[in-house]
A and B are shown apart, each in its own frame.
Chain A
């Protein structure tokens, strides 16, 4: 309700100020031969900016400080003798009760007389401050409007001012990307450091037992990263064993052999795999691939669990096939034609050219592409949550259930946000590990790919 009122007032202010600037600009008298510097739209925008900024500043100030002021006002409403008897928790509860009375939702239990009167006082206080802020904002906006209008002359360089504001807005938007990274690093590091106040970092990074005690209490359990890391690496290795041959060979066939018409059909079809949500792959792994591998294992006398590193790895491999194939395709297309023509000229067959000339030349780039694929596999979550079996035990067989870093983050963090014990904070330590590992892989891979591109430019 309040938000709608504020938005409505701001839109009206915007419209009026733009219109004012625009019409004044249209009516500028240019008798003395001076050309009007800016077009009417710019004068309109100029006035609108001058009107909106003071109004927005006042509203934002209130949004920022208003909560504290209201809180202090409520505290001042509580009688002195009651106030002394309350501790911090009790005070917060009382403030909450008074706010609930003021909002009209009502509260449980008996309402003390002072609470009722405080609630009534708060209701009028809320109304007065809201209306006051809004009026103040409108007045400030109006003042800005009048000032801007008075400045509009034929010589005013309104376009330049407006463009400066636009530039600042654009810069602010690109700062969002930086802020995201800062937010990621800040949240991961602060919460991970809090985790390390409970658990020694050495026990975390080199521990071999993963057994968090989720029940709470003084015994936190043990948080050894190594079983999770081993599971992650095993699944990633299996995924690459599936994705690299299939992806690379199909990229070679599509880019070197296939007729145009076949390529036009097959390439988008393979790339469908990249667009399928990972939860769908997870379901596919859980209900189809897992049971199939188990039955297949039984048939050849192998004990394979339905949810295992193998199941998750194979399906994750399928998922990253298009990733590997389109990246290698790009890389191979960048190898200069002359290298291939040279090989053909010496009488090499097409496959000999590809194996002995094209692939060695493209190798660094392809390795970079593989590393990007590895980083994607390490960070993948839903497939492993559903199909890896969630057994954080250090063991070497790919036919057994395992667990990964991402699975443990999901297990430790879902539904719980008070972040007080190591049980949930460990999610951030794991996240930090994941972030650092994938970041290093990405930077290294992008560096290799860039070096490779420069080589042939």
Chain B
């Protein structure tokens, strides 16, 4: 052996180098492939994020445009032949006046306001355009007649006058204008009749129909009979009530529980149990909390169904573990020097915790709270089980009224039969929800960076 090396040192070492070189090339190639796989995985993940946002925005942005019909409406005295509006001066008491006024409004409600709407539509149509009454009524939204009646109730002196009024175009008309429905489909598959479609196109050309920003999405409540005017206000207020309850209950209880477990609890079986229990609660599927709400709050305690109060309680229980875990983490991170300094100056343990330790964890608690609330805000499944998917066409004035929530409204809208109209609407509602969540997360990040700098 020794002679071999002495005799052919160059050959052996060059062989070895060759083998290693060949191996190295393969190994470096593998390295490149592995690295490429990592980049590809990140590209896939980020691609999904981008795709989801682009998709939702592409679908949702058109829904922020609404088609308005500019009509000149004549409050025809022949149609509106009820007596003059009762005046307060003619009655002895408020009660009598209210009764007479309500009677007058009931009479107004019995009138055929559609004829007034129709007359104004015909006035805007070209001379001699042939379309029957039923067909022309499909162009404005069904609540146009209520809108005009309410104008008259508010201002009875309009009788006999002609005023310019903007009413919403119906959902089907909006579909046609925006091309949400295939314009080449035959008559049988179209939602609107041929003359109505032709008239809509004429209206668009002569400026009777124009597009504007859809404020109604933010200012109206949900509506079934008049889908074009359906808005998010009711759901938004319902969500606000629930978030209020979550903040008022989950933050104090969660922080107090965390303080007890981290600072005061003796190390015992019981505290171990509480700890394991909290970790598990954080991982329980949200729908199980919905079952808890349905059985305990509604069936056993008889709290009202569909109420933001129950929704808020369920979401509170769901958010609690998050806040407890985050607060404990923050308390654990407080430097022992601070504690010892406080104790050394003669503070009691409670004083040490509440006066010195807790204030330094404020930024973390605030961030955890906002993130927990943001999570609760997007939760849908438990709310379905406590009846919050009922159709509610009013703004909940108290947490005990029937209400729905933003994510549930999204669920309800995506199930609407008028897909062509409601798919963009749903995407628009999602944009609103995402905007609220991004805002909350942004506030959390901003506050954390600011407060941590100050601390």
The docked-state distance in angstroms from the alpha carbon of A439 to that of B283 is 8
Contact assessment for B274 and A417 in the assembled complex, using a CB-CB cutoff below 8 Å: no
One of A174, A275, A419 near B260 (C-beta < 8 A): A174
Given contacts A414-B389, A439-B280, contact A174 B48 (CB under 8 A): no
Digitize B419-455: 1 where CB-to-A-CB distance is under 8 Å, 0 elsewhere: 0000100110010011001000100000000000000
Residue B39 at the A interface, CB < 8 A?
Answer: yes
Across the interface, which residues of B come within 8 angstroms of A442, CB to CB?
Answer: 279-280, 283
Stretch from A92-100, A127-135, A182-190 contacting the other chain? A182-190
Across the interface, which residues of A come within 8 angstroms of B257, CB to CB?
Answer: 170, 173-174, 176-177
Across the interface, which residues of A come within 8 angstroms of B259, CB to CB?
Answer: 170
Contact assessment for A375 and B283 in the assembled complex, using a CB-CB cutoff below 8 Å: yes
Across the interface, which residues of B come within 8 angstroms of A178, CB to CB?
Answer: 273-274, 277
Residue B298 at the A interface, CB < 8 A?
Answer: yes
Chain A's nearest CB lies how many Å from the CB of B80?
A: 33
Contact assessment for B34 and A354 in the assembled complex, using a CB-CB cutoff below 8 Å: yes
Across the interface, which residues of B come within 8 angstroms of A443, CB to CB?
Answer: 280
Chain B's nearest CB lies how many Å from the CB of A54?
A: 23
Stretch from B6-14, B202-210, B336-344, B377-385 contacting the other chain? B377-385
Stretch from B122-130, B150-158, B168-176, B289-297 contacting the other chain? B289-297
Contact assessment for B280 and A434 in the assembled complex, using a CB-CB cutoff below 8 Å: no
Digitize B306-331: 1 where CB-to-A-CB distance is under 8 Å, 0 elsewhere: 00000000000100110010000000
Total interface residues on A, CB under 8 Å, equals 89
Across the interface, which residues of B come within 8 angstroms of A280, CB to CB?
Answer: 52, 56, 378, 410, 430, 433-434
Residue B162 at the A interface, CB < 8 A?
Answer: no
Chain A positions 243-260 with a Cβ under 8 Å from a chain B Cβ: 245-250, 252-254, 257
Contact assessment for A187 and B295 in the assembled complex, using a CB-CB cutoff below 8 Å: yes
User: Which of B38, B257, B299 has its CB near the most chain A CB atoms (within 10 A)?
Assistant: B38
Chain A's nearest CB lies how many Å from the CB of B33?
A: 8
Contact assessment for A284 and B52 in the assembled complex, using a CB-CB cutoff below 8 Å: yes
Contact assessment for B295 and A191 in the assembled complex, using a CB-CB cutoff below 8 Å: yes
One of A180, A283, A350, A352 near B292 (C-beta < 8 A): A180
Chain B positions 38-74 with a Cβ under 8 Å from a chain A Cβ: 38-42, 44-46, 48-49, 51-52, 55-56, 59
Residue A60 at the B interface, CB < 8 A?
Answer: no
The docked-state distance in angstroms from the alpha carbon of A202 to that of B42 is 46
The docked-state distance in angstroms from the alpha carbon of A276 to that of B292 is 24
One of A177, A249, A270, A351 near B31 (C-beta < 8 A): A351
Chain B's nearest CB lies how many Å from the CB of A157?
A: 11
Chain B positions 256-278 with a Cβ under 8 Å from a chain A Cβ: 256-261, 264-265, 273-274, 277-278
The docked-state distance in angstroms from the alpha carbon of A143 to that of B55 is 67
Chain A's nearest CB lies how many Å from the CB of B327?
A: 11
Across the interface, which residues of B come within 8 angstroms of A276, CB to CB?
Answer: 52, 378, 434, 437
Across the interface, which residues of B come within 8 angstroms of A190, CB to CB?
Answer: 295
Contact assessment for A406 and B285 in the assembled complex, using a CB-CB cutoff below 8 Å: yes
Residue A378 at the B interface, CB < 8 A?
Answer: yes
Given contacts A269-B49, A417-B299, contact A409 B283 (CB under 8 A): no
Across the interface, which residues of A come within 8 angstroms of B321, CB to CB?
Answer: 177
Given contacts A280-B52, A427-B291, contact A245 B41 (CB under 8 A): yes
The docked-state distance in angstroms from the alpha carbon of A176 to that of B14 is 74
Q: Which B residue's beta carbon lies closest to that of A442?
A: B283
The docked-state distance in angstroms from the alpha carbon of A301 to that of B291 is 43
The docked-state distance in angstroms from the alpha carbon of A159 to that of B348 is 9
One of B287, B377, B407, B426 near A434 (C-beta < 8 A): B287
Q: Is the interface of A mostly helix, strand, loop or mixed?
A: helix
Across the interface, which residues of B come within 8 angstroms of A435, CB to CB?
Answer: 284-285, 288
Q: Is the interface of B mostly helix, strand, loop or mixed?
A: helix
Stretch from A114-122, A329-337, A379-387 contacting the other chain? A379-387
Chain B's nearest CB lies how many Å from the CB of A389?
A: 14
Contact assessment for A287 and B46 in the assembled complex, using a CB-CB cutoff below 8 Å: no
Given contacts A413-B385, A414-B389, contact A177 B433 (CB under 8 A): no
Stretch from A161-169, A206-214, A223-231, A305-313 contacting the other chain? A161-169
Chain A positions 294-319 with a Cβ under 8 Å from a chain B Cβ: 318
Contact assessment for B283 and A382 in the assembled complex, using a CB-CB cutoff below 8 Å: no
Across the interface, which residues of A come within 8 angstroms of B28, CB to CB?
Answer: 349
Residue A58 at the B interface, CB < 8 A?
Answer: no
Residue A13 at the B interface, CB < 8 A?
Answer: no
Residue A279 at the B interface, CB < 8 A?
Answer: yes
Contact assessment for A378 and B285 in the assembled complex, using a CB-CB cutoff below 8 Å: yes
Residue A325 at the B interface, CB < 8 A?
Answer: yes
Across the interface, which residues of B come within 8 angstroms of A249, CB to CB?
Answer: 37-38, 40-42
Given contacts A277-B407, A381-B380, contact A177 B277 (CB under 8 A): yes
Digitize A185-223: 1 where CB-to-B-CB distance is under 8 Å, 0 elsewhere: 011101100000000000000000000000000000000
Please give the residue numbers on chain B whose beta carbons come within 8 Å of chain A beta carbons, in ascending order: 27-28, 30-31, 34-35, 37-42, 44-46, 48-49, 51-52, 55-56, 59, 252-254, 256-261, 264-265, 273-274, 277-281, 283-289, 291-292, 294-296, 298-300, 305, 317, 320-321, 324, 348-350, 374-375, 377-381, 384-385, 387, 389-390, 407, 410-411, 414, 423, 426-427, 430, 433-434, 437, 441
| Closest 10 pairs (CB-CB, A-B) | A379-B285, A277-B378, A253-B38, A187-B295, A249-B41, A173-B256, A174-B257, A381-B381, A170-B260, A351-B34
Q: What would 30 A/B residue contacts be, using CB atoms closer than 8 Å?
A: A159-B348, A163-B350, A173-B254, A174-B257, A174-B261, A177-B277, A178-B274, A180-B281, A180-B292, A184-B288, A186-B296, A187-B296, A246-B41, A247-B45, A249-B37, A250-B38, A279-B411, A280-B433, A287-B59, A287-B423, A288-B55, A349-B30, A386-B414, A415-B389, A415-B390, A431-B291, A434-B288, A438-B283, A443-B280, A446-B279
